[in-house]
A and B are shown apart, each in its own frame.
Chain A
Amino acid sequence: MDPVVRSAAAVRPAPAYVPHERPISMPMSTTTSLDRRRFLAVSAGAALSASALSGCAASVSDDGDSGGKSGAKTTLTVMSQANELDPKTIKAAEQALGVKISLITYDATKLNAMLAAHNPPDLVRGSGALETPYFAARGLMTELDSYFEKSSVLDPSDLDPVNDLWRFDGKQQGAGPRYGMAKDYSQDAMFWYRTDLFDAAGLDRPSDTEPLTYDEWFDLGKKLAKHRRGKVKVYGLNATGLGNFAMFLNMTASGGGSLFAEDLASVDFSSPEARNALKWYLEYARADIGPNAANPNPDGWDWPTYQAGRMAMACDGYWFGGAIGGDAKKAEVSRFAPAPQMAGGTRISPCFGATGYWIPKEAKHKDAAWKFFEWYFGGRPAKDRASSGWGIPTLKSLRPQMPQNTTFQKQAFKVQEQELPYFSVLTVTPYVQTTALDAVINKVLPGAIKSSTSPGKVADQLNAQMNELIAKGKELVG
C-alpha cells in the first residue's frame, strides 16, 4: 500500500495551459531533428555506459571488500530506537565487534513489511511478553538455544526468569526454545506518584508494601484530578501505561480470571472478572481523570505530562524511574508503589514488555548478530543499563548494580524488591498481534465511553470482533 496521500486541497500542479487558439505548426528540418536526436541518443548511451562502468568498478571494489581481503566489515542491520542505540553506543559496538552497524529506526509497520518481503534486519527490538508467540508461531524467529549453549558470556543459569517470556513451544509461552532476550524489564502495572500533589490535596501516600485496590486507586485519582473550564489541568492518574489490552489482561488476571481461553484461540470479556475490569475502565474514562481511549494523551507517553506536574500518578514500571532520576527536582517528589489489585482477587504484578532483541530466521548475519547479542546483553552496555535505573537487569548477577544512592532510588529499589515475588506471566495468543487486539479496543471503547453502553454490551462487541480476528489468524498458523 502506498500511504502517501493528499488532502483535497493538495492537488497536483496544473498541466501546461495554452490559452491561445491553435497549436502552432513548427516547420522543422528532418535532418536537423534527426541529427540532434542521434546526438542525444549517443550522448545518453555514452552516459549510461559510463555510469554502468563506474557502477561495475564500484561493485568490484565492494566485492573485494566484502570478501574480507582488504579488511572490510560485515554490515549488521539493527532495527531499534535511536535513544537505545545512540551514535556513541553504535560506535562502541562497531569497535568491540568489528562490524559496521546500520540502524533502522523501529517501526512496527516497516518491520512487518520487511518480514513480508523476506528481507528482515539482522536484529530486531521487540517485546518478549507480547510478541514472542506471534512471531515464533509463524517461524520467523531464530532459535537461540545452541548459541546460548556455546556462549561464554551469557550463562543460562544467570538469566532472570523474565527471559522465559522469550520462549514459546508452539502452544505455550515460557516453555520451549529461546527466541530472544530482554535487555531489561519492569513490573509494568506498578505506578509512580508525586508526593507534592498528594500533600497539596491533603491525601495519605500509598503504602510501599500493601497494594491499593483498583477502586481505592480510582478514588485517589478523582481527588487528585483538577479540572478547569472543560479542560483537565492535572490528571489524577493514567491507568494505561503500556496499552489497553495488556491492562485488561492484567486486571482480569488480578481478579482471578483469564481473558484468553485455555487454547489461546478466543477471548472472553464476558466473564465476571473481565466485566469488572471493563466496568472499572468505563467509569475511569467517563470520570475524565486520566488519558483514555476517548481522550488519549497527546504526548504519547507519561513523562512530559508527569514532569510538568500535570499527572499525579503514572502507571509505569520501574523503568520510568530512569526518566524521573534525570530530573533531580522531580526525583525528590516522586515515589514508587506496588501494582493495584482487583478487590477479592490474587496479588499479581506482571511484566508487559520484557523488551529486548531477536534474530529473524531469514537474517543474513546471524553469527554477527549473536556477537552483538552477547556484547549488548552481557557486556558494558548491560552494566551501564543496570546502574541507570531504566529497568531491572535481566542477568541476576547485575541486580546489585541497580542504583540506590538517593532517597528516591532507595525507595524505588526497596519497593521493587518487595514486588518481585508477585511477578507473573500473562500469556498472549499466537494467532494475532496484540496491536490488533488493541486496535479493536481503540475502536469500540470511545463510543462506549461517551454513551451509556453497559460493560456487558461492550464485552459482546469486543468478543465478537477480537474472536473473528483470532479465528482468521488461526487459519494461517494451522
Chain B
Amino acid sequence: MSTDQLAGRPTRRPRPSSPAAGTRGRPAGGRLSLRQRRAGAFYLFAGPWLLGFLALTAYPLGYALWLSFTNSDGLSPHVSFVGLANYREVFTDPDTMASLGRTGLFTAITVPLSIIGGLLLAVLVNQPIRARGLFRTLLYLPAVVPPVGAALTFKLIFDRDSGAVNGFLDLLHINGVPWLVDPYARWVLVALTMWAVGNVMIISLAGLQDIPKELHEAARVDGASPWQSFTRITLPLLSPVIFFQVVTGIIGALQSFAPLLIAINPTPAGVTSVPESNYFYMIDVFAQYFANGRYGYASAMLWVLFLVIILITFLLFRLSRGAVFYSVEPESAQTKRRTIGGA
C-alpha cells in the first residue's frame, strides 16, 4: 500500500504509454524497480499461503466439483459422468430437503437465541460488580470446550438410563425421559448450543466496551432511561458486531455436525442413528459419503450448501444496509464519496 493510499488519497500513477515511460520505474543497471521489489516481497510472503490455498482449498474444491457431476463412490473403477443428475436429486430427494429444512429451522432458532443470550450476558458482566472477571471466565469456559468433547459430555449427562439428569429426576420421584431420542433430542441440541453462548458473549462484551462512556453519560444528563440508552445508543453502536455474529452464526449453524453426534457413535453407519429431528444436512452429507459411498451425490450436496450460504450472506449484506451503523466507514465507501466529491 502506498503512502497515498494510507493517507486516504486516491492514487494516480501514469500508465506507461511509451518505451521511455515504461522504463521510468526501473533504474538503470538491471536493478528492480520499487514496484517490482514490492511485488516480489508480496509474493515471497504470500507464497506459502498461496501454495496452501491451491493445494488444500482450490484443488479439493475443484475435485469436489468434478465429483459432483459423476456417480463416483471413490473406490470403483467404472465412474461415469452423470451431468446434473446429482444436483437434480438434491432438490427432489425428500430426505435431503427435509434435512435442509431441519437445519434451517435449527438456525432460525439458535442464532437469534445465541445472539440475544450472549448480548444479555455481556451487558450483565459489563456491570461494575464484584468478581466480574470470575463470572466472565466461568461463562466463557464452555465455549473453550471442543464441540466433540461437549457433545460427549452431554451424552453422558442426558443418557436415559445412567445420565445425571434422569438420576436427579429420580431423586425427586419424577419419571425420567429418553432425552437423546425424539422428540427430546432437538432440545438437548439447542441446550448444548446455548451452553456455549460464552463465545458470543465475549464478542459482544468487546463491542460494548468500545462504546464511549460519554455518550451514555450525556444521555443520562438529557433524561434518557436505561432502556432508551440501550436501544438508542448501545444497540446502534453494537450493530456491526451483531451483524458479524448473525453472518458467522448462520454459516456455522448451517454447517453443524459435531454437536449432532451426542446420541451416537460416529461411525459411518452410526451417523444414521442420529434422531430424526437432529438429522441435519451435514449428517446426511457424511452418511452419503461414508456410509453409502456416494461421493458424487455428497459432493453435489456440499456445493448446494456452499451456494445457499453464499446467497444468504449476500442477502444479509443487502438487508443490513439500513440497519448496521459503522462508526468507521468502510474504505470503499470513503473512496467512493471522495471520488464523487472530486477530492
Q: How far is the CA of A12 from the CA of B8 in the complex (A)?
A: 29
Please encode chain A, from 266 to 303, with 1 for each CB lying within 8 Å of some chain B CB and 0 for all others.
00000000000000000000000000011110101000
CB atoms of B328 and A435 under 8 A apart: no
Please encode chain B, from 173 to 211, with 1 for each CB lying within 8 Å of some chain A CB and 0 for all others.
111111011100000000011101111100100110011
Q: A8-B252, A14-B203, A295-B181 known; A1 and B328 CB under 8 Å?
A: no
Check: B87 CB closer than 8 A to any chain A CB.
Answer: no
Do most interface residues of chain B lie in helix, strand or loop, or is the interface mixed? helix
Q: How far is the CA of A113 from the CA of B60 in the complex (A)?
A: 13
CB distance from A34 to the nearest CB of B (A): 7
Interface size class of A (residues with CB under 8 A): 35 or more
CB distance from A436 to the nearest CB of B (A): 5
> Which residues of the other chain, B, contact A1 by a CB distance below 8 angstroms?
64, 285-286, 289, 298-299, 302
CB atoms of A473 and B75 under 8 A apart: no
CB atoms of A296 and B147 under 8 A apart: no
> Which residues of the other chain, A, contact B77 by a CB distance below 8 angstroms?
138-139, 476
Check: B312 CB closer than 8 A to any chain A CB.
Answer: no
Check: A243 CB closer than 8 A to any chain B CB.
Answer: yes
In chain A, what residue has the closest Cβ to B255? A5
Q: How far is the CA of A20 from the CA of B327 in the complex (A)?
A: 7
B114, B253, B259, B269 interface centre (most CB from chain A within 10 Å): B269
CB atoms of A442 and B272 under 8 A apart: yes
> Which residues of the other chain, A, contact B267 by a CB distance below 8 angstroms?
108, 435
CB atoms of A229 and B269 under 8 A apart: no
CB atoms of B107 and A18 under 8 A apart: no
Q: How far is the CA of A115 from the CA of B258 in the complex (A)?
A: 24
A10, A14, A450 interface centre (most CB from chain B within 10 Å): A10
Q: How far is the CA of A298 from the CA of B151 in the complex (A)?
A: 13
What 6 pairs between A and B have smallest CB-CB spacing?
A116-B74, A476-B76, A8-B253, A438-B269, A439-B291, A6-B252
- List residues of chain B with CB under 8 Å of any chain A CB: 3, 6-8, 34, 37-38, 40-41, 44-45, 64, 71-80, 106-107, 110-111, 114, 118, 143, 147, 155-156, 159-162, 166, 169-170, 173-178, 180-182, 192-194, 196-200, 203, 206-207, 210-212, 237, 240-241, 244-245, 248-250, 252-253, 255-259, 263-265, 267-273, 275-276, 279, 282, 285-287, 289-295, 298-299, 302, 327-328, 331, 334
- List residues of chain A with CB under 8 Å of any chain B CB: 1, 3, 5-15, 17-23, 25-28, 30, 34, 37-38, 40-41, 44-45, 48, 108-109, 112-113, 115-116, 135, 138-140, 228-233, 243, 293-296, 298, 300, 310, 432-433, 435-436, 438-440, 442-443, 446-447, 450, 469, 472-473, 475-478
